[in-house]
Amino acid sequence: MTSQTPPEALNPAELSAWTSLLGTVIWLPAALDTHMQRETGLSHSEYQVLWWLSVSDGGTRRMGDLADTASVTASHLSRIATRMEKRGWIGRRPDSADGRQTIAYLTDSGWAKVAVCQPHYTTALRALVFDRLDPTQLTQLETIMTGILTPLKPCCTPANRAASSEG
């Protein structure tokens, strides 16, 4: 039997930073969800799906790419898309370039829903995040979060999300 050296415990600074990050990861989405439900009747995830479609070329995106950029699983996206189709906000069709893929697209009602919801989302983001940061902290936050996110999910870094929405 081999014995392994247990990993070194987090030092106090690491533990403090981790606790703050973990709390933010848990409580910020919950606060955004509560705000969006109250103000628009949409969950945070539902709004993200509509918003990512709205910033995609022509309001269309492959479902797999949309799941990645909206940070939802494929099965969760499928349930969201079904609800939104029933409300007339999005449609789905086979990808003409690859019939195995499905394209989601915003309808006219979907574009209108994004226009109604976007100011509420921006208000919440400013109140919960950006109004609490000075310009230097904002730059630091982006650098730190991109450094953490890139090895975890390279497709979802700001630069890669922008590039993927261009084509």
Query: What is the model's pLDDT at position 78?
Result: 95
pLDDT at 11: 94
Give me the sheet containing 90-95, strands edge to edge. 60-62, 98-106, 90-95
* DSSP output for 125-159: HHHHTGGG--HHHHHHHHHHHHHHHHHH-GGGSHH
* Model confidence band, residue 156 (pLDDT cutoffs 50, 70, 90): low
CA distance 167 to 163: 7
Does residue 164 register a pLDDT over 60? no
What is the pLDDT, as a whole number, of residue 4?
A: 83
- Give pTM, 2 decimals: 0.82
129, 137 contact by CB (below 8 A): no
Quote the mean pLDDT of the chain.
90
Which domains does the chain carry? 43-117 (1.10.10.10), 133-167 (no CATH)
117-129: pLDDT as tens digits: 999 999 999 999 9
pLDDT band at 135 (very low <50, low <70, confident <90, very high): very high
The neighbour count for residue 110, using CB atoms within 10 Å, is 23
Q: Are strands 90-95 and 98-106 parallel, antiparallel or unpaired?
A: antiparallel
- Dist CA 3 CA 25 (whole Å): 35
Residue 167 has pLDDT above 80, yes or no: no
Task: Give the C-alpha separation, 145 to 148, whole Å.
Answer: 5
List C-alpha distances in Å: 35 to 4, 53, 59, 63, 153: 47, 21, 25, 26, 27
